[in-house]
Amino acid sequence: MQDLPHIYRVAASAEGAANVVLSADGLPDLESAGPPEFGGPGDVWSPETLLVAALVDCFILSFRAIARTAKLDWLTLECEAEGTLDKIEKFTQFTSFTVRAKLTVPQGTPEKKANTILEKAEKYCLITNSMKADSHLEAEVIVAD
């Protein structure tokens, strides 16, 4: 791992009602739009589905790293995540996340060790631990000629 802090940059652009295009150096562009629940088309990723995807992706990557360190042999890890969006006071926000994980291990693997590593993956997932991180806006308005 490289020394911290790590900086990740993603750009987003949109024209009118067209889908938002997300881009980052060295990665393919990704289109997004609002989810159907907010009047979006439902045929591309939304910020909400991207957040839940980041959570479950990070969970698996955290598990993989911890399992490697603990020398746990495993075959497959299938996960799905569900995020609940609700209104708290005046703000719409995610109020809970549930990750359902199904781990397949070889015969003879101690189940307690496997469960402990799954629990550590949840505890140390950096996306889960970042959910209430500070956010700052630096805005500029340009008036077209």
CATH number at residue 19: 3.30.300.20
What is the CB neighbour count within 10 angstroms for residue 56? 20
pLDDT at 131 (0 to 100): 87
Whose tokens are 């009118």? That residue is 16
pLDDT at 141 (0 to 100): 66
pLDDT at 18 (0 to 100): 92
List Cβ neighbours of 139 (8 Å cut-off, separation of 6 or more): none
The reply to whether 33 falls in a domain is yes
pLDDT at 23 (0 to 100): 97
Q: How many folded domains does the chain comprise?
A: 1
pLDDT at 92 (0 to 100): 92
pLDDT at 15 (0 to 100): 93
The reply to whether 46 falls in a domain is yes
* Positions in the chain short of pLDDT 70: 133, 141-143
Range of 20's domain?
11-129
pLDDT at 73 (0 to 100): 95
The reply to whether 137 falls in a domain is no
